[in-house]
Chains A and B, each alone.
Chain A
Amino acid sequence: MNTFHLMTSATYWLLIVMWAYILFFYIRRIGLKRVESRLFITLIIILAIDAFRTLFESFYFGAWYTSLAGLLPMGVHDFLSSPERWVIPKFLNVAAAALIIGILLRRWLPEEEHERGQQEKHVRELTETIEKRKRAEEELVQANIQLKEMDRIKSEFLATMSHELRTPLNSIIGFTGIMLQGIPGELNTEQRKQLSMVNSSAKHLLGLINDILDLSRIESGKMEVSMERFHIQNVVSEVAQSLSPMISQKGLKIITQIPDETPEIYSDRKKVSQILLNLVHNAVKFTPAGEVRIECKFDSDNLEMSVADTGIGIKKEAMKLLFEAFRQIDGTVQRRYQGAGLGLYLCQKLVTLLGGNIWVESEYGKGSKFTFTLPLRREEKGE
């Protein structure tokens, strides 16, 4: 046994253990988890490959000298001593280093990579969601612009259309009015009767066109309100006056109950008149016999007007449709009582515009009572 050889081989084995130990703890201490930059990883790999090369060389020489010391079978010595075998350890060394690093990296990196991958995925998903949202938002903005434009065109169209429709009506109402006044010459009874039919039909048509126009205005927020102080009593009288032919024709009784001490109201006179006219007209229209009662109450802030009739009434299920546009309760009624079904919808819009409320109580077959409130606005000064 050659002592020198034995000692050399032992030294090499010690070296191997040392290197393995250093390498192991080095990689563990650094903690691949904490490795932030790829540069650092590369450095570690280079160091590791070098370490492995030394390790393998040491292993080779360890084995060589161990065999020289006669501690290994002679076959091992022969295998190691043939010069072409020298090449193999070099390859083995690199391959093994790569393999081991690979294994280590696979153990430690994936967590990191996985985590980072997850984060990146999250970020990507978030970015995508944000982009989607942005696109949706843009689309909404676009759609909104288009809608507003369409709405503007609609309102403009309605305004122009109704202007065009009213121009010929102006002359129809005007000329029939003149002829009914007898200015161009006397009319016989039948002519007068027929001409007043033309006149009232034209006025009715004008009313419908005005309703549509008012609606389009309210809906586009262009309704103008002109406020003034006035007595509600005067408006009620005017409304009753204008409907008196229809009332007397149906043989109805109209009762108005307005306390003398009712204060003046500050509101839009024309619109209040329009609301009342609509409600009273409806009451008269849907009441075959009996009475229509117009009542007024007030407290410190509000005026409450009600129009009650003894007419056909409204079914419960129909009540909620009552204030919708273009609704007249059931088709058969519509056949019997003409109208576009705009009146109550318009009333509701007007009352809301003036700052009040409108509601209905009704018993089918017995009659209905429409009530609306208006703020008195006592503190406002009239002109």
Chain B
Amino acid sequence: MKKKILVVEDNKQNLYLATFLLEKNGYEVITAEDGLEAIEKAKMEKPNLILMDMQLPEMDGFEATRRIKGIPELSHIPIVAVTSYAMVGDKEKALATGCAGYIEKPFVPETFVSEIEKYLQ
């Protein structure tokens, strides 16, 4: 069975980029464009991994992560934070919030998938 990855990202182009790369590598991809939608999709789809952009409209990635980690049946899902080099302290904040790890934007297509696979073990 294909592994499911929930990609949360508000920029449509980047969302498509991540989706494209993951689907090419044999994953099933679900998408969400803000924090609230991410929680809904996570509840419905129970993905194997969540790729969460930290800067989102409505509810940001930190809050969404905190809430997902607070839901018992979802708390085991590893969440990988997508942080931007531009934001000082986001990495530490992401790890403190409960993320399993982080990848830095901009994505490098050559290594993007292998970086995510580390968290799928």
With a CB–CB cut-off of 8 A, which chain B residues contact A217? 88
User: Quick one: which of A163, A175, A224 contacts B17, CB cutoff 8 A?
Assistant: A175
Q: B108 in the interface, Cβ–Cβ < 8 Å?
A: yes
CB–CB B109/A174 < 8 A: yes
Q: A54 in the interface, Cβ–Cβ < 8 Å?
A: no
With a CB–CB cut-off of 8 A, which chain A residues contact B87? 159, 163
With a CB–CB cut-off of 8 A, which chain B residues contact A177? 108-110
CB–CB A170/B20 < 8 A: no
Instruction: Please encode chain A, from 165 to 186, with 1 for each CB lying within 8 Å of some chain B CB and 0 for all others.
Output: 0111111011101100101000
CB–CB A173/B86 < 8 A: no
With a CB–CB cut-off of 8 A, which chain B residues contact A32? none
Q: A305 in the interface, Cβ–Cβ < 8 Å?
A: no
Decide: A178 near B20, CB < 8 A? Known: A171-B14, A173-B106.
Answer: yes
CB–CB A210/B17 < 8 A: no
A173, B108: Cα distance in complex, Å: 8
CB–CB A170/B105 < 8 A: yes
Q: A152 in the interface, Cβ–Cβ < 8 Å?
A: no
CB–CB A170/B106 < 8 A: yes
A173, B105: Cα distance in complex, Å: 11
CB–CB A170/B17 < 8 A: yes
CB–CB B110/A181 < 8 A: yes
The number of inter-chain residue pairs (CB within 8 angstroms) is 63
CB–CB A171/B86 < 8 A: no
Instruction: Please encode chain B, from 6 to 45, with 1 for each CB lying within 8 Å of some chain A CB and 0 for all others.
Output: 0000010110110011001000000000000000000000
With a CB–CB cut-off of 8 A, which chain B residues contact A159? 86-88
A217, B88: Cα distance in complex, Å: 9
A163, B88: Cα distance in complex, Å: 11
A163, B10: Cα distance in complex, Å: 13
A178, B105: Cα distance in complex, Å: 16
CB–CB A183/B55 < 8 A: no
Q: A162 in the interface, Cβ–Cβ < 8 Å?
A: yes
A217, B87: Cα distance in complex, Å: 10
CB–CB A181/B109 < 8 A: yes
Q: A253 in the interface, Cβ–Cβ < 8 Å?
A: no
CB–CB A174/B88 < 8 A: no
Instruction: Please encode chain B, from 69 to 93, with 1 for each CB lying within 8 Å of some chain A CB and 0 for all others.
Output: 0000000000000001111110000
Q: A227 in the interface, Cβ–Cβ < 8 Å?
A: no
CB–CB A174/B86 < 8 A: no
A213, B85: Cα distance in complex, Å: 9
Decide: A213 near B86, CB < 8 A? Known: A163-B55, A174-B14, A183-B24.
Answer: yes
CB–CB A166/B17 < 8 A: no
With a CB–CB cut-off of 8 A, which chain A residues contact B107? 170, 173-174
| Interchain nearest-CB distance for B97 vs A (Å) | 18
With a CB–CB cut-off of 8 A, which chain B residues contact A210? 85
CB–CB B11/A171 < 8 A: yes
Q: A222 in the interface, Cβ–Cβ < 8 Å?
A: yes
Q: What residue of chain B has the Cβ atom nearest to residue A214's Cβ?
A: B85
CB–CB A167/B88 < 8 A: no
CB–CB A167/B11 < 8 A: yes
With a CB–CB cut-off of 8 A, which chain B residues contact A178? 17, 20-21, 109
Q: What residue of chain B has the Cβ atom nearest to residue A165's Cβ?
A: B86
| Interchain nearest-CB distance for A196 vs B (Å) | 13
With a CB–CB cut-off of 8 A, which chain B residues contact A51? none
Q: A206 in the interface, Cβ–Cβ < 8 Å?
A: yes
CB–CB A224/B110 < 8 A: no
With a CB–CB cut-off of 8 A, which chain A residues contact B17? 170-171, 174-175, 178
The residue among B11, B105, B109, B110 with the most chain A CB atoms within 10 A of its own CB is B109
* Additional pairs, 7, CB under 8 Å, beyond known A163-B86, A173-B107, A174-B109: A162-B86, A167-B84, A170-B11, A170-B106, A174-B14, A175-B13, A224-B89
Name 14 interchain pairs, CB-CB below 8 A, sorted by A.
A162-B86, A166-B84, A166-B105, A167-B14, A167-B84, A167-B105, A170-B17, A171-B16, A174-B21, A174-B106, A174-B107, A181-B109, A206-B106, A224-B89
The 5 closest A-B pairs by CB, nearest first: A171-B13, A170-B106, A163-B86, A177-B109, A174-B17
